[in-house]
Structure 1
Amino acid sequence: MPRVIPIALQQHLDQDATTVCLCVRIEPAAPGYAPVGVTTLDRDLIVELDGDSNGSGLLTYRAAIGLNSSARVSSSDMSVDNAEGTSLVPEFDVPVSESELIAGAYDYAKWTSYLVNFEDTTQFVELARGELGQVRVLQGMSFTFEMLGMTKRLKQTIVEKDSLRCRAIFGSQPLGTPGAEVTQRFPCGREVAGLFVGSHVVEPGEENTVSFSTALSEPDGYFKPGMLRWVTGANAGRVYEVEEHKDGVLSLTFASMFPVQAGDQFFVRPDCTKWKDGPNGCKTWFGANWVLHYRGEPYIPVGDTGQVNAPGASI
């Protein structure tokens, strides 16, 4: 991207020896987490880098132990600019814990990188900005984060494709609906707030991140599929999909981030299968008016009866 280098910094860069370092500001997308700054310098920098249009304010850019950055790939076409950074899992140098990294608190965070003269911090230039990819923790020793440019969003599909199953998120409302948790251009339209049932874990299963017995009294299959939101415990605030519900035992589609403990409280509700027929299908929730809410094309002729999507389609 085009950038304007301050005259003083350019004069400094033209010298035989320079005192510059790289600073990266990371603003988590998850609520409740403060911005974090890291630098390749061997000491912390407390500086205000206002290259961000919103004003970044004073921030301590910490000298993270073991921080290593790859070469940054940038092009003049519409390719996604990218770089990758690796650092040791912080304990004292950066206010980021391993559990937060594993829980995804810094996934898809906004980042801005600067070139700074650490002897005169008024001399700096913004190099790039974008979003982080998924942060990966390797054997509890180090973590890796991918730094993607702003053109990444232009690679996303923004139009709908044909599909046999419904494409709408169950419970989504029209764009601009006040207080709606999820809004879509082509929404489901079903109110789901009243479907949640509160309960707690009676006993974790053999795989204590996947299955557990509960105090639920609903019949088998009522929460198949379902959505579960943890209220207390190590997983509090996280939402998981329910794959199986039988004899009061819930099984999650994907393992929870942390082990489930007896007494952990949660809310769970049934979800839609995204098919027009069958238990918890569209007709279950809308009856004869299902066609007004179904955001799919269930009558597309498909040669292979086992194929879920029409060729080239996605759900």
Structure 2
Amino acid sequence: MRTIPIALQQHLDRDTTTVCLLVRIEPVAPGYAPVGVTTLDRDVSFDSGSGALLYRAAVGVDSSARVSSSDMAVDNAEGTSLVPEFDVPVSERDLIAGAYDYARWASYLVNFEGTTQFVELARGELGQVRVLQGMSFTFEMLGLTKRLKQTIVEKDSLRCRAIFGSQPVGTPGAEVTQRFPCGFPVGPLWQNGSVVSVGEENTVVFETDSGAADGFFKPGVLQWLTGPNAGRTYDIEEFASGEATLTFPSMFPISEDETYRIRPDCTKWKDGPNGCKHWWGPQWVLHYRGEPYIPVGDTGQVNAPGASI
């Protein structure tokens, strides 16, 4: 249920109305400003209470019928917008890179001739944004009950569930925080470097200027500092003879002389190279967020997720 202001209801009761749909998108990725899109053929400046925003007609939005229910099913709809020619207020590169994936959104029915007359229709989180042939992009608008479908408690696993280097929630300056953290200080492990040459797969393989031994960054984490991939982080699958192979292709091609920072990662196993014992020594048992002694042979009778790995 929602409350419609009296003035807006009186306007809706008229034979002719001047209302339009506005959608506000707030990226969760740092460094990106909110974006407004509208079904109207001209821009609309509108303040819903969180600050005035210009809702762009050049990008626009075409929303499908919204599916809502009174049970706990996730409300959903799909929106389609145009990729703007001059990268304002969004660019195709940022859309492809995932800057607007899982952003917060809210939709409003607004009288564009008097924007103080409005009602909020729905809000929630976007799904993954998909760009179609560089011309348009689509996004799924999911309701807030989506969060209730996500697991928030820990499950059993043979491998450690903590992110390597994560710190307790509320730790000042921590890059990653968790309720059940790893606790290892990874700051001193970071090394700066630059790309010497690029392989045939220019989004996966490249030669570094690192003199580290083979397997030192297996697994590893690499964060780009310059170039089109700047700010994005990728996992390293292989490292041999100074050549790094990413687990997944980078969003944009890698070029020579681009700079990055790199560090080894944890395998999430208690034993072996770069395992928990390698980083913590005898104190590993105090930081391992897994159950390494689950009887693998009893997986038919015991609930042991991941035992087949």
In 2: Cα distance, 1:295 partner to 1:281 partner: 13
Q: CA deviation at 1:311?
A: 4.1
Q: CA deviation at 1:122?
A: 1.7
Task: Give CA deviations for 1:63-110 in whole Å, capped at 9, x if unaligned.
Answer: 135632111111122111111111222224841110010111111111
In 2: Cα distance, 1:92 partner to 1:223 partner: 40
For the 8 Å contact 1:225–1:243, the answer to whether it is kept is: yes
Number of aligned residue pairs: 306
Match of 2:275 in 1: 281
Q: CA deviation at 1:15?
A: 2.1
Match of 2:40 in 1: 41
In 1: Cα distance, 2:87 partner to 2:260 partner: 35
Q: In the superposition, relative to structure 1, how do residues 312 and 273 fare at CA in structure 2: closer, same or farther (>3 Å)?
A: closer
1:84 to 78, 83, 86: 78
Match of 1:136 in 2: 130
Q: In the superposition, relative to structure 1, how do residues 220 and 313 fare at CA in structure 2: closer, same or farther (>3 Å)?
A: closer
In 2: Cα distance, 1:8 partner to 1:91 partner: 38
Task: Give CA deviations for 1:39-65 in whole Å, capped at 9, x if unaligned.
Answer: 101111122222xxxx2x221111135
For the 8 Å contact 1:135–1:146, the answer to whether it is kept is: yes
1:174 to 143, 168, 176: 168
One-letter amino acid matched to 2:250: S
In 1: Cα distance, 2:215 partner to 2:305 partner: 31
TM-score by length of 1: 0.92
One-letter amino acid matched to 1:59: L
Note the aligned Cα RMSD (angstroms).
1.9
Stretches of 4+ aligned residues off by more than 6 angstroms: 312-315
One-letter amino acid matched to 2:46: V
Match of 1:231 in 2: 225
Q: CA deviation at 1:192?
A: 0.3
Q: CA deviation at 1:297?
A: 0.5
Match of 2:100 in 1: 106
Deviates more, 1:115-124 or 1:262-271: 115-124
For the 8 Å contact 1:64–1:93, the answer to whether it is kept is: no
For the 8 Å contact 2:40–2:60, the answer to whether it is kept is: no
Match of 1:290 in 2: 284
For the 8 Å contact 1:273–1:282, the answer to whether it is kept is: yes
For the 8 Å contact 2:37–2:60, the answer to whether it is kept is: no
For the 8 Å contact 2:157–2:306, the answer to whether it is kept is: no
In 1: Cα distance, 2:115 partner to 2:295 partner: 65
1:270 to 264, 273, 283: 264
Does residue 3 of the first structure (1) align with residue 17 of the second (2)? no
Match of 2:23 in 1: 24
Q: In the superposition, relative to structure 1, how do residues 239 and 93 fare at CA in structure 2: closer, same or farther (>3 Å)?
A: closer
TM-score by length of 2: 0.94
One-letter amino acid matched to 2:6: I
One-letter amino acid matched to 2:37: V
2:197 to 203, 211, 233: 203
Gapped regions of structure 1 (runs ≥ 5): none
For the 8 Å contact 2:66–2:77, the answer to whether it is kept is: yes
Q: Helix, strand or coil: the match of 1:303? A: helix
For the 8 Å contact 2:158–2:306, the answer to whether it is kept is: no
Give % identity: 76
Match of 1:60 in 2: 54
In 2: Cα distance, 1:34 partner to 1:250 partner: 34
Match of 2:66 in 1: 72
In 1: Cα distance, 2:35 partner to 2:189 partner: 38
Q: CA deviation at 1:313?
A: 8.4
For the 8 Å contact 1:229–1:239, the answer to whether it is kept is: yes
One-letter amino acid matched to 1:189: G
Match of 2:14 in 1: 15
For the 8 Å contact 1:132–1:145, the answer to whether it is kept is: yes
In 2: Cα distance, 1:293 partner to 1:61 partner: 48
Gapped regions of structure 2 (runs ≥ 5): none
Q: In the superposition, relative to structure 1, how do residues 312 and 294 fare at CA in structure 2: closer, same or farther (>3 Å)?
A: closer
In 1: Cα distance, 2:119 partner to 2:169 partner: 38
One-letter amino acid matched to 1:27: E
